[in-house]
Structure 1
Amino acid sequence: MSAWYEEAVFYHIYPLGLLGAPRANEGGEAVHRMRELIPWIGHIKELNCTAVYIGPLFESSTHGYDTIGYKKVDRRLGDNDDFRQFVAACHEQGIKVVVDGVFNHTGRDFFAFQDIRQNRENSQYRYWYRDLNFGGNTPYNDGFYYAAWRGCYELANLNLDNEEVRGYLYEVIHDWIAEFDIDGIRLDCADCLNFDFMKEMRRRTAAEKADFWLMGEVIHGDYSRWANPETLHSVTNYELHKGLYSGHNDHNYFEIAHTIRREFDQNGGIYRNTKLYSFVDNHDVDRLASKLTVKENLNPVYTLLYTLPGIPSIYYGSEWGVEGKKEGGNDDPLRPRLDLEEMKKNAPVGGLEAWIRTLGRMKKENPALSYGTYKELALTNRQYAFARMMDDKAVLIAVNNDEQEAEISVPVPVTASFGVDAVLGEQVSLENGVWKVHLAANGSAVLCVG
């Protein structure tokens, strides 16, 4: 039996933004905003998503990644009981829950860092941070130096070579599984983490929950260094993310096809046995609707997200074409407050949300879209067709990034005289092993054969 994450479709929530929490954590009583997420579970299920990635969740000073405490839900969101209820409600609907694990660094208000500020050389935590040097200094003028993530000194790098630090974080993860019953962790800044730390995490979490999933945020590099049988199950596919929008903006399907050949081709694709985490936008990059020069290309981009090899993820609000661009170093426009009832009320009938729902249904109904091998069938700058093949069946996908309609002939890689349109359910005749497909402007088509 395959693990749940092999065929998952994720819904990604940045809760501090979605729920309109204040930018700064001023302390005080918990505000139970997280309870507003319960109605979103029904929406997530309607989209045919099967998992939620939510985070950051735990107590922090501002944006969630400057951790104050790993064992307590951020008071701006609610309390531990609120999150426990959210996970239980998701599980009742058959939806798995994955949280952010921010283990590369802490905020300056974390107890160990505060102890160092107070006790300096006498602190029992003086070896918990990387490159701590009481002969140096930082812009905060603490009278000591420490390594920080990308020179952002509000984020102090933990020393993951230290056995006490690792032991503390393993205890945190155990507590998350025991208390909340989470199903996985997305590792923030996985490309900065100690490999032995991640391997031991894999061993420990698998012992606690056999199908526990670990996914790492990795921007550049050889993804197989992180995603392999010993370390993590998956990593973020930033290489494909870039191609999905620029391949449409530049009318250049060769860029996307080249990326897929390099990554997933059965005859030499370097990640052909790995399911990478696919996305078109997230809490760190501009929204897809703001990146596309032709908004109508939302249709073929999402078609590719769901049908190319990978584990697709939808970032909250993007199912309605919500826009958002970084403003310098300010990520707030990417992380807006949204009201579910208002968004659904204003969504056009038959619009992007409906198409994403349809794509989710297709993926659920066609195991080849999760497990099938990839085969390129036709390619020009503006049209692209490929198959996902499994046993004697195939799902054929064709996309068009042109503002004009297009007719293309696609060779069918299995023997058949007809196929079924995956959207309409209608039978389509094949002529001499060829699918003659009419593509709408900036449109796509999916055919099931066999």
Structure 2
Amino acid sequence: MSKSYSQAGGMIMAWYEEAVFYHIYPIGMTGAPRENKGEEVVHRFEELDKWLPHIADLGCTAIYIGPLFESSTHGYDTKDYKVVDRRLGDNEDFKRFVRKAHEAGIRVVVDGVFNHTGREFFAFQDIQKNREQSPYCSWYKGVNFGWNSPYNDGFGYEAWRNCFELVNLNLWEPAVREYLLGVIDFWIDTFDIDGIRLDCADCLEFSFMEEMRKRTREKKEDFWLMGEVIHGDYSRYIQDGQKMLHSVTNYELHKGLYSGHNDHNYFEIAHTIRREFDENGGIYKGMKLYSFVDNHDVDRIISKIQVKDHIFPIYTLLFTLPGIPSIYYGSEWGIEGRKEGGNDDPLRPAVEIEEALNKEKDSKIMQHVKWLGNLHKKYTDCLAYGRYRELLLTNRQYAFVRFTQEQGLVVAVNNDEQEVNISIPVPFENKRYINLETEEQIPVEGGRICLTMKAAGSTFIEIRE
């Protein structure tokens, strides 16, 4: 797929700046076995191919898929970085999938699990076999032949969060770095992927991520690096936008989007956005964080919210607040799912897309998400690159404007369970304000516009000359 850049406010931006992502957890959605018994290859990518028209129809322009390289169980215990998991297919299957996605105008980003490997990875198995004589002892953290592991290996090692099926790599070891960078080269050369989502980026060495950025930029100029970061200062991972990652997961906003509705408290969401992106003093101003309402690690959004109709303003905010929006497969029509203790399987169900679309063809949630996807395409200038300014805030109503010199959109949401009348100050004088639902001009009186909003409703107003 050729490089894609766009012009916005005099700046050259890459495709990922204006993307809408669709998130796929392939082992779950294809119904693949949860354990890899190492049997014959099963070609399940044919099922994944069927999702591409639906993804494009939603207005998504990029897919985040993973994990999909050979692993022992859930995908994050990597067995072989250069082979597609046999439960999903083979390398030729994934090559075809990426090619078909590119033909549909959809970029493909994969999971990069570089903090740890599984116990079946060749380097760890060499240590098991050759012990102190293994040349790979330095590849892992904390290898100690005076200790023992819960698996009774006769040696100890450092594991991710004490999950001893996940062995922590030593990223200070030059051979490990070069091996992993070579893996990325292989993924780009073999599959023509467009980016990597870095699993556990908050555990990775900063210098390794800097080296990765340099290597991938030389390999593919518009290659995107996004890190999974849950807590802390997100800007540490992006820095000046040139040396480290392009983006990280915005878990802070994710929390606000559901709890701000459950508590009928738009102050929580607005405070998060002020802190992150305010024109005056936002700590992540100018950065493009990856926004989501659910994913493969957290409860489905429809299962989290107390008033189910709040799903509509929640998705409105996902698509219109600053950030790169992402939809998790099936949540566009309201799939339920909660963790069961440490079991994530309920979050990652098998879905047969043709059957699901037939069953959910009248889904109001999906129609809303599709409308928002088209809105994001039409108003990319202001929604991807525009400034943010708060206009109105109460516990139950919230309005803001996204704007550039060329384009502007006022967005208002209501978390009340009844219809309300609100009055919003206009952000600019001598402009026309057009309700996108009715295509009617809204009168401006005393510098304000008055709206009647439906229960759990959203209103979109285009600013025109």
Question: TM-score interval w.r.t. the shorter chain?
Answer: over 0.9
Say yes or no: does 1:159 pair with 2:170.
yes
Secondary structure at the aligned position of 1:285 is classed as coil
CA RMSD of aligned residues (A): 1.0
Which one-letter code corresponds to 1:113 in the other structure?
F
Secondary structure at the aligned position of 2:209 is classed as helix
Matched with 2:8 is none
Say yes or no: does 1:407 pair with 2:421.
yes
Which one-letter code corresponds to 1:308 in the other structure?
L
Out of 384-393 and 31-40, give the one that drifted further.
Answer: 384-393
Identity of aligned residues (%): 64
Say if 2:298 and 2:347, in contact at 8 Å, map to a contact too. Answer: yes
Matched with 2:62 is 51
Q: CA deviation at 1:195?
A: 0.6
Which one-letter code corresponds to 2:210 in the other structure?
K
Which one-letter code corresponds to 1:347 in the other structure?
E
Say yes or no: does 1:36 pair with 2:47.
yes
The separation in 2 between residues aligned to 1:424 and 1:133, in whole angstroms, is 69
Say if 2:316 and 2:372, in contact at 8 Å, map to a contact too. Answer: yes
Matched with 2:142 is 131
Out of 426-435 and 398-407, give the one that drifted further.
Answer: 426-435
Secondary structure at the aligned position of 1:43 is classed as helix
Q: CA deviation at 1:339?
A: 1.1
Say if 1:234 and 1:275, in contact at 8 Å, map to a contact too. Answer: yes
Equivalent of 2:153, from 142, 148, 157? 142
Say yes or no: does 1:67 pair with 2:81.
no
The separation in 2 between residues aligned to 1:188 and 1:232, in whole angstroms, is 13
Matched with 1:267 is 280
Say if 2:79 and 2:117, in contact at 8 Å, map to a contact too. Answer: yes
Which one-letter code corresponds to 1:15 in the other structure?
P
Say if 1:400 and 1:444, in contact at 8 Å, map to a contact too. Answer: yes
Secondary structure at the aligned position of 1:266 is classed as coil
Out of 431-440 and 228-237, give the one that drifted further.
Answer: 431-440
Say if 1:362 and 1:422, in contact at 8 Å, map to a contact too. Answer: no
Matched with 2:308 is 295
The separation in 2 between residues aligned to 1:297 and 1:446, in whole angstroms, is 17
Matched with 1:176 is 187
The separation in 2 between residues aligned to 1:122 and 1:425, in whole angstroms, is 74
Secondary structure at the aligned position of 1:69 is classed as strand
Say yes or no: does 1:339 pair with 2:352.
yes
The separation in 1 between residues aligned to 2:460 and 2:279, in whole angstroms, is 21
The separation in 1 between residues aligned to 2:99 and 2:407, in whole angstroms, is 37
Which one-letter code corresponds to 2:110 in the other structure?
V
Runs of 4+ in 1 over 4 A off after TM superposition: none
Matched with 1:189 is 200
Say if 2:333 and 2:363, in contact at 8 Å, map to a contact too. Answer: no
The separation in 2 between residues aligned to 1:255 and 1:123, in whole angstroms, is 53
Say yes or no: does 1:433 pair with 2:447.
yes
Which one-letter code corresponds to 2:296 in the other structure?
H
Say if 2:290 and 2:325, in contact at 8 Å, map to a contact too. Answer: yes
Q: Where do residues 237-386 of structure 1 align in structure 2 (5 Å cutoff)?
A: 237-347=250-360, 349=362, 351-366=364-379, 367-386=381-400
Unpaired runs of 5+ residues, structure 1, are none
Q: CA deviation at 1:88?
A: 0.3
Relative to structure 1, the CA distance from residue 73 to residue 390 in structure 2 (aligned partners, 3 Å threshold; closer, same or farther) is: same
Say if 1:300 and 1:443, in contact at 8 Å, map to a contact too. Answer: yes
Say yes or no: does 1:232 pair with 2:245.
yes
Say if 1:264 and 1:271, in contact at 8 Å, map to a contact too. Answer: yes
Equivalent of 1:109, from 100, 120, 127? 120
Say if 1:289 and 1:298, in contact at 8 Å, map to a contact too. Answer: yes
Relative to structure 1, the CA distance from residue 340 to residue 396 in structure 2 (aligned partners, 3 Å threshold; closer, same or farther) is: same
Which one-letter code corresponds to 1:118 in the other structure?
K
Which one-letter code corresponds to 1:101 in the other structure?
G
Q: CA deviation at 1:350?
A: 5.8
Which one-letter code corresponds to 2:324 in the other structure?
I
Say if 1:283 and 1:334, in contact at 8 Å, map to a contact too. Answer: yes
Q: CA deviation at 1:124?
A: 0.9
Which one-letter code corresponds to 1:232 in the other structure?
L
Q: Where do residues 193-212 of structure 1 align in structure 2 (5 Å cutoff)?
A: 193-212=204-223
Matched with 1:446 is 460
Say if 2:98 and 2:192, in contact at 8 Å, map to a contact too. Answer: yes
The separation in 1 between residues aligned to 2:152 and 2:405, in whole angstroms, is 64
Which one-letter code corresponds to 2:444 in the other structure?
L
Which one-letter code corresponds to 1:433 in the other structure?
G
Secondary structure at the aligned position of 1:109 is classed as coil
Task: Report the TM-score, using the length of structure 1 for normalisation.
Answer: 0.98
